[in-house]
Amino acid sequence: MPNLKLIDTHAHLDSADYNEDRAVVIARAFSEAIGVITVGVDLDSSEAALKLAQRRRFIWAGVGVHPHEARTFNAHVEKRLREFAADSKVVAIGEIGLDYYRDLSPRSMQRDAFIEQIKLANELDLPVIIHNRESTKDMLAILRKHRPKRGVIHSFLGDIDLAREFMELGLYLGIGGPLTFKKNDILRDVLSQIPLDRILLETDSPYLTPVPYRGKRNEPAYVRLVANEVARIKEISVEDVATTTEHARQLFHI
C-alpha cells in the first residue's frame, strides 16, 4: 500500500457537486497523499462509489442505504449490497443509521434498514459507518442489542458522556469540519478529552466544509484542515494526528 499521510474516512465523491471536476478534486487529494473512503447513500450511489474505488488505488468504498433513503431498502437492495461487498475495494457498510432531525423516511423503516445492515456488516465481517442525528436514544438501544463488530460514528456530535458510550461499544468517533466551526466549543471540549486512538478524520465532502472555506464546497484535501485543528486543540503535532491514519487502516483493513 502507498504511503498515505491522511485518510478522509467519509466523503461522497459520487455527488453531482463534483460532476464538473471530479478528477481534479481527486488529484488534489492524491497530490497531498490523502486517501479517501467514499460512501454510498443508496443503491445507485453505492455502485458509483464502488466504481470510483475500483479505478483508483487510494480510494475505497462504503456501500449502504442512508436513513434518509431507508424507504428504498428491501431484500433486492440488500442482495445488491452483498454483491458489491464481494469486491475487495468495499471496506465498510455505510452510510447507515438514523436521522430523526429530517425524518425523510419513516422512523420504523429507518430502524429496520439500520438493523438489517448491521447484521449484513457483521456477517461479512465489515465495519459500519454510522449516521446519527437527533436519534441517540434509539441509536444506543439498537447498538447495544445488535452490536456491530466494529465501526465509526460519523461526524460525532454530542457531549463527553455520549462519546464514552460510543467508545464503550468499541466504536470510533469521526471528526470533521464542524470541529472548526466557531460555535462548536462542546465538540472541541470533547475532543480534548478523548484519546487520539479513538478518532478518525473525515470531511463528509461535499458538505460540512471546514473554516476558512465554510460556505463553499468541501473536498477530501481539506481533511488536512481538520488534522491541523485536532493538533491545535490537543496540543500535539500534525504528525501525531497522522497516526489516526493507522487506525483507519486497521478499522477498514486497508
Strands of 172-175's sheet in order across: 6-11, 34-39, 59-63, 90-99, 128-133, 151-153, 172-175, 199-201
- In whole angstroms, the minimum distance from the beta carbon of 91 to Zn ion comes to 15
Judge whether 200 and 226 are in contact, CB under 8 Å: no
Could you tell me whether strands 128-133 and 151-153 are parallel, antiparallel, or unpaired per DSSP bridges?
parallel
- In whole angstroms, the minimum distance from the beta carbon of 101 to Zn ion comes to 14
Give 49 or 234: the residue with its C-beta nearer to Zn ion. Answer: 49
Give 95 or 99: the residue with its C-beta nearer to Zn ion. Answer: 95
Contacting residues for 95 by C-beta, under 8 A, at least 6 apart: 10, 39, 40, 41, 62, 64, 66, 129, 130, 131, 154
Give 158 or 164: the residue with its C-beta nearer to Zn ion. Answer: 158
- How many residues make contact with Zn ion (CB under 5 A)? 2
Judge whether 27 and 59 are in contact, CB under 8 Å: no
Fill in the per-residue mask, 184 to 223: x = in contact with Zn ion (CB under 5 A), - = not in contact: --------------------x-------------------
Give 97 or 148: the residue with its C-beta nearer to Zn ion. Answer: 97
Fill in the per-residue mask, 95 to 114: x = in contact with Zn ion (CB under 5 A), - = not in contact: x-------------------
- In whole angstroms, the minimum distance from the beta carbon of 155 to Zn ion comes to 7
- In whole angstroms, the minimum distance from the beta carbon of 178 to Zn ion comes to 12
**Pairwise CA distance, residues 240 & 110, whole Å:** 38
Q: Would you tell me how many other CB atoms lie within 10 Å of the CB of residue 157?
A: 18
Which residues of the chain form contacts with Zn ion (CB under 5 A)? 95, 204
